[in-house]
Amino acid sequence: MGMQIAPSILSADFANLESEIVKVDTADWLHVDVMDGHFVPNLTLGLPVVERIAEVSPMPIDAHLMIENPDHWAPRYAEAGAASVTFHYEAAKDPRAIARDLRRLGARASVALKPGTPVDVILDDLVEFDMVLVMTVEPGFGGQAFMPDMMSKVSTLRHASDAADRHLWIQTDGGIARDTIETVARAGGDVFVAGSAVYGAADPAAEVNALRALAAAARA
């Protein structure tokens, strides 16, 4: 698997969402942030909107659930059409059970860690997950500054995955742009969520390609 770019529609124009999605059709995934105003202090969108986005998007949906009670809600996002569903370890009662439910429904199972959560909490259960999302900002709002100290988590996950002879996807979200993506790629990341860096560019589709090329060159 090569480097993958997942533009976040949190930085898109919500009044023209379908056209904004088409602007990034060179991407590997479309990252959709679901916030409930409780787990994080922001509110975005929910199941009906994700279901409709999945119907019109040329890219598979990567749903990032920043919500309470993912044990109940995460499988419903897989049923709504998300090809990958990420829930937060901090909000989950039984992360392994959620992951198994997602896989049973045909979705990739991913767990996210907030900056303050140590990576050790999931190392014994990596076989349960297809991807781990290392947050490189505090979840809840776009446009925050990248946290370079999170790269130790990325490296630990990559070494653990290699030692187990399996390829765990390692995603990063927050402050990903031309000046940070190479650092993440060298640490072992391979799936990159980019919001303002993509949607703030004059040509979002070309920016997706540029970011992917930078990451690939850094890993090589």
Residue 29 sits in a domain whose CATH number is: 3.20.20.70
Task: Read off the pLDDT of each residue in 105-132 and give the average, rounded to a whole number.
Answer: 97
Q: What is the pLDDT of residue 140?
A: 75
Whole-Å CA distances, 19 to 22, 52, 186, 203? 5, 14, 33, 13
Task: Read off the pLDDT of each residue in 175-181 and give the average, rounded to a whole number.
Answer: 97
Question: Which residues are identified as catalytic?
Answer: 33, 173
Q: What is the pLDDT of residue 145?
A: 87
- Residue 181 predicted with pLDDT over 80: yes
| Boundaries of domain holding 166 | 4-219
Q: Each residue of 4-27: pLDDT tens digit?
A: 999 999 999 999 999 999 999 999
Axis crossing angle, helix 70-79 with helix 47-56, rounded to the nearest 10: 30
Give the whole-number percent of the chain exceeding pLDDT 70: 99
Q: What is the pLDDT of residue 139?
A: 87
Show the beta-strand stretches assigned E in the chain: 4-7, 30-35, 61-66, 84-88, 108-113, 131-135, 169-173, 191-194
Q: Each residue of 86-110: pLDDT tens digit?
A: 999 999 999 999 999 999 999 999 9
Into how many domains does the chain fold?
Answer: 1
- Residue 142 predicted with pLDDT over 70: no
What's the rounded Cα separation, in Å, for the pair 122 and 117? 10
Strand partners, 169: 131
- State the pTM of this model: 0.96
Residue 203 has which token pair? 């040509």
Neighbours of 68 (CB within 10 A): 17
- Residue 141 predicted with pLDDT over 80: no
Q: What is the pLDDT of residue 195?
A: 94
Neighbours of 213 (CB within 10 A): 13
